[in-house]
């Protein structure tokens, strides 16, 4: 793995760990699953496949952020526009 790819993987891991703090099922479960996925793919040496996995990880980051924003939006909507 080249140095830029290694840096990208580490940044992705740190970003996902940070996002996992608000995970609904708990941070410990998120951290355990995240670690398992990264360890499972740690032996990969093909640069193209590593790039694909990094891109997939960045997609997952965007999806998690979208879910958190939706959760916050729904909470604010309930708080300010309660129909009852």
pLDDT at 73 exceeding the cut of 80: yes
76/80 Cα distance (integer angstroms): 6
The crossing angle, in degrees rounded to 10, of helices 3-19 and 27-40 is 160
How high is the pLDDT of residue 80? 87
Q: Return the beta strands (E) in 1-84 as ranges.
A: none
- Give the range of the structural domain holding residue 50, as residue numbers without chain letter: 3-80
Q: How many domains does the chain have?
A: 1
pLDDT (tens digit per residue) in 16-66: 999 999 888 999 999 999 999 999 999 989 999 999 999 999 999 999 999
0.75 cut: is pTM over it?
yes
């Amino acid at each position: 793995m080249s140095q830029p790819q290694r840096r990208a993987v580490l940044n992705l891991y740190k970003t996902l760990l940070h996002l996992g703090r608000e995970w609904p099922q708990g941070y410990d479960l998120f951290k355990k699953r995240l670690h398992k996925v990264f360890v499972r793919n740690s032996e990969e040496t093909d640069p193209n496949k590593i790039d694909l996995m990094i891109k997939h990880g960045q997609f997952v980051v965007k999806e998690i952020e979208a879910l958190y924003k939706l959760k916050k939006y729904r909470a604010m909507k309930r708080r300010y526009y309660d129909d009852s």
